[in-house]
Every structure is written in structure tokens, then in C-alpha cells.
Amino acid sequence: MKQISASEKSQGNKIGFVPTMGFLHAGHLSLVRESVCQTDCTVSSVFVNSAQFAPHEDFEDYPRDLQKDLDLLEEAGTDYAFIPKAKQMYPDGYKTYIEVHELQERLCGQTRPHFFQGVCTVVLKLFNIVAPDLAFFGQKDAQQSIILKRMVRDLDLDVQIEVLPIIRDKDGLALSSRNFYFNKRQRQAALCLSRSLRLAQKKITAGEIDAAQVLQTIRAEIEAEPQARIDYAEIVDTNDLLPRETIHKGDLIALAVFIGKVRLIDNLIVD
């Protein structure tokens, strides 16, 4: 991969990179298509990163279908699919991890304390190997892109991060590889996340700026769904991810909700 990347660069080609954990859907492919538009050469990686899963989480069960992923990546215009092996990324004696303090402890970090350390470590390694000019991430993982941007700035990395909108199903459910786990009833229940965010935006548009009031609306909507259990619902400043009392334009409304055993996230930037 390093040789390919060096060779593309020597021909003056700008490299775009889309890191994924596979089991691809239209959300991932929107990132690939944007990279194809903005760069000369698109690299997509598929790597289920053990470092970002806690022992009790779904690393073993995480859905995988590499052949289908390769077909979809090719169809969307990816030039190179990078599929490293776990042993290549984390050889015996691996000891180095990246942390973005404070930001990694907020929102998802409360229930997944090692998650962003795992994400930042693998993304930095992938950046070092692929050496992209641009890297494409989804707004779906809002905290992830905020943390990665901070890592890039703090470590003076020569890569520009592009964050692209959340792709949703027609009924509003944000696409996620984990939606695959759901039966029909659970999938229906999962709609409470996007529904609560739409209600929140409506309330804010009507003039509500008290974060507690808006959060109450969100919570009531989700709690009305018997299969849903809120992990967190917060309205935060995107700079420090700390809760707001008064809502400002550009704030992040972020949710994590369990539907059965499956934990979903969704979010909205206040318009």
C-alpha cells in the first residue's frame, strides 16, 4: 500500500481515503463517491478494528461480507481496496496508542472508554500507510470526526478531513452496518432516534433555546418506545463537546440508544 501510494503521488495524483469497517451500505459509498469526485485516486480500507471494541462488545459478531464489499467499492469507483490483516496492524508486542484527552471521554466515551483510543490509533496508522491528501468521514459518527480533526491538528498531519452528511433510509433511520442485526419490530423501534431529532429541530425552529426543554422532548419520544433504552442524549458545543444550557446554531445534538442489545447513534447539527 505504501508503494502504491508513493507511486500515485509521484505521478502528481491526489489521494483520497475512505476508512471503513466493511459491511458497506450507501452511507459508506457516498464517501467513496465524494472522494472519486474530489481526488485522482481513491483508496478504501476495510478493517474491523479490534482495538475499538471492549471485550463485551460485538467484535466477533460484527457483520462481515468482504466479497460484497469489494464489489460495491469497485462499483462506486474505488481504485484500491486496502484490506490489512489484524496481525499486520497489531503485530505481537504492539504497545502504542493515541489519545485525544477530554474529547474522548465525552458522549460515547462515557460508555465506551477505550473506543476513541482505538479509533485514533487505527486511523493514524492507516493515514501513515495510505498517506492520503484527503480523508472522508461521515457526520453519522460526529464525535469521531471532531476527535480525528483535533488529532490531525495537534499532530500536524498533512491530511485534510472532509465530513459528509448522514445517509438515511427513506423512513429516517440512519444507515448503519449494525441495522443488519434487527428484526422487523426492532427496526421499527429504531426509528425513535431520528424521530426525536426531527422533533428537537422543530422545537428549536419554533424558538426554543433551552437545552433542557429540548432534551426533555427527545427523551419523552424515545422513552415512549418500549424497546428503546437511552444511553445518552446531549446537546453540546462542537469545540469541547461539553453540554450547553442554551442552544446555539451549530451545536451538536447527539444520541446513543440501545434497541435490545444493539447500540445505535444518531445526531443533528442545530440549523
Interface with ligand AMP by CB under 6 A: which residues? 20-21, 27-28, 30-31, 137-138, 140-141, 166-167, 174-177
Whether 28 sits among the annotated catalytic residues: the reply is: yes
| DSSP symbol at 173 | P
Q: How far is the CB of 123 from ligand AMP (least distance, A)?
A: 10
Q: Which is nearer to ligand AMP, 32 or 41 (CB)?
A: 32
What does residue 215 show for φ and ψ, rounded to 5 degrees? -65, -35
Q: Which is nearer to ligand AMP, 139 or 214 (CB)?
A: 139
Q: How far is the CB of 237 from ligand AMP (least distance, A)?
A: 20
Q: Is the dihedral of CA 188, 28, 134, 113 positive or negative?
A: positive
Q: How far is the CB of 135 from ligand AMP (least distance, A)?
A: 9
Residues 97 and 8: their CA atoms lie apart, in Å, by: 29
Q: What angle (nearest 5°) sits at the alpha carbon of residue 266, between those of residues 250 and 263?
A: 150
Residues 18 and 33: their CA atoms lie apart, in Å, by: 10
In the block, cell 464517501 appears at: 31
| DSSP symbol at 260 | T
Q: Which is nearer to ligand AMP, 95 or 261 (CB)?
A: 261
Q: Which is nearer to ligand AMP, 126 or 166 (CB)?
A: 166
Q: How far is the CB of 177 from ligand AMP (least distance, A)?
A: 6
CB-nearest residue to ligand AMP: 138
The grid coordinates of residue 167 equal: 445517509
Which is catalytic among the residues 25, 28, 56, 248? 28
Q: Which residues are catalytic?
A: 28
